[in-house]
């Protein structure tokens, strides 16, 4: 016979409401001795409450949906790790949904999470042009926090982001501090918010330095190692065997594309950083393990994930934070894929952030 909350309450000599407070980790209305007695009975009996019954009784599922665009990208795993730590500490379960870079699949997950009566959703969208997913959640009264990727009407939504434009500017300012730099900017899909913002940072640096447009080449790829590899291989192939390199520095809009680009260079015996310098974006764990270790723009990924969960829990609790969006600062981490610069060449400008040697 399956135990019920009523059975636990009878054994403990308390009301069902008191047992419910203990199960839901609510501090109010339960004394320490009573809580300890109930927890001992729960442990001794192996009682497992029905999630469906609890949802019907309290209107809460104690579950959160987190949608990411690509589970194969280690950067998103760092976001998940940060969010999960906060949610688990507060007694919430996490439904992790991998959209596989598909807006259609993302929409399917939104419908599934609504059917599961989740208490809130953290959305790292596969696209940036459509806001129907957020509207579907809002129509059901489900709080939603955007993470990492901006979608339409950002100013009216809650979200946690990184300053992509600033990060890209930092990378390009460093590379162009070498006077003979001819740069390839390996960007992501043109329609995504990160790609637009990082391109804006590149253009800002060029304008500020007065660099002519012919010293920059921009190629859009897909944020994967394969995308970075094929883009660089194709460009080197067009140059022809023995021809001068069409660039001597690469800034890749994420580390995975930078890893692919490094492979393409290595296959053609092009030395990094002697012949071509390379900077990525994200600072995934693999970045420091490459040979040579990858210079990159480091995002505070776990902190971003944790902050998105904290913001969502405040919304679930009925609070309305005055600051709707949190924008975090990235930093340039210099490792083995870039050459050292004289101190005079990298003097900080009023907009320049921290540079860390890793």
Looking at the predicted structure, is the pLDDT value of residue 347 above 90? no
Question: Is beta strand 63-68 parallel, antiparallel or unpaired with respect to 93-98?
Answer: parallel
| Sequence-ordered list of residues with C-beta below 8 angstroms from that of 16, at least 6 positions apart, any chain | 5, 6, 9
Given a contact cutoff of 8 angstroms between Cβ atoms, the answer to whether 219 and 251 are in contact is no
Q: What are the C-alpha distances in Å from 242 to residues 32, 268, 345?
A: 78, 11, 31
What's the average model confidence in pLDDT over 37-61? 69
Could you tell me the pTM of the whole model? 0.81
Q: Rounded distance, CA 232 to CA 352, Å?
A: 29
Q: Rounded distance, CA 229 to CA 221, Å?
A: 10
Domains along the chain with CATH numbers = 5-58 (1.10.260.40), 63-162+301-328 (3.40.50.2300), 164-299+331-357 (3.40.50.2300)
Helix axes 51-58, 16-23, angle to 10 degrees: 110
What's the confidence (pLDDT) of residue 25? 72
What's the confidence (pLDDT) of residue 152? 64
What's the confidence (pLDDT) of residue 345? 62
Q: Which of 124, 132, 158 is nearest to 143 (CA)?
A: 158
Any bridge partners for residue 65, and if so which?
95, 121
Assign 50 a pLDDT band (cuts: 50, 70, 90): low
Question: Do you know the residue count of the chain?
Answer: 358
Kindly tell me the burial class for residue 54, based on how many C-beta atoms sit within 10 Å of its own C-beta (0-12, 13-18, 19 or more): middle
Q: What is the pLDDT of residues 271-328, one digit of tens each?
A: 999 999 999 999 999 999 999 999 999 999 999 999 999 999 999 999 988 889 999 9
């Amino acid at each position: 016979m399956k135990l019920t909350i009523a059975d636990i309450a009878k054994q403990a000599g308390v009301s069902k409401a008191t047992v419910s407070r203990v199960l839901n980790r609510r501090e109010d209305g339960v004394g320490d001795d009573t809580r300890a007695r109930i927890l001992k009975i729960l442990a001794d009996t192996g009682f497992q409450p029905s999630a469906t019954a609890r949802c019907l009784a309290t209107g809460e599922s104690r579950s959160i949906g987190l949608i990411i665009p690509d589970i194969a990208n280690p950067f998103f795993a760092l976001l998940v790790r940060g969010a999960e730590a906060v949610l688990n500490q507060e007694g919430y379960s996490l439904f992790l949904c991998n959209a596989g870079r598909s807006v259609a699949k993302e929409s399917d997950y939104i419908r599934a999470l609504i059917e599961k009566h989740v208490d809130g959703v953290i959305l790292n969208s596969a696209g940036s042009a459509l806001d129907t997913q957020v509207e579907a959640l809002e129509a059901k009264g489900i709080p939603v926090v955007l993470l990492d990727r901006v979608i339409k009407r950002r100013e009216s939504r809650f979200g946690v982001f990184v300053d992509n434009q600033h990060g890209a500017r930092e990378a390009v300012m460093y590379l162009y501090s070498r006077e003979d730099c001819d740069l390839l900017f390996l960007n992501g899909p043109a329609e995504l918010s990160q790609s637009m913002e990082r391109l804006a940072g590149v253009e800002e640096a060029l304008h500020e330095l007065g660099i002519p447009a012919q010293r920059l080449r921009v190629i859009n790829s897909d944020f994967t190692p394969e995308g970075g590899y094929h883009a660089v291989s194709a460009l080197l192939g067009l140059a022809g065997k023995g021809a001068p390199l069409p660039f001597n520095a690469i800034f890749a809009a994420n580390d995975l594309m930078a890893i692919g680009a490094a492979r393409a260079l290595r296959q053609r015996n092009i030395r990094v950083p002697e012949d071509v310098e390379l900077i990525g974006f994200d600072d995934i764990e693999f970045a420091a393990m490459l040979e040579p270790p990858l210079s990159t723009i480091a995002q505070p990924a776990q902190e971003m994930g944790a902050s998105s969960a904290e913001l969502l829990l405040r919304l679930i609790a009925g609070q309305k934070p005055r600051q709707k969006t949190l924008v975090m600062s990235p930093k340039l981490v210099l490792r083995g894929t870039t050459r050292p610069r004289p101190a005079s060449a990298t003097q900080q400008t009023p907009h320049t952030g921290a540079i860390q040697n890793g």
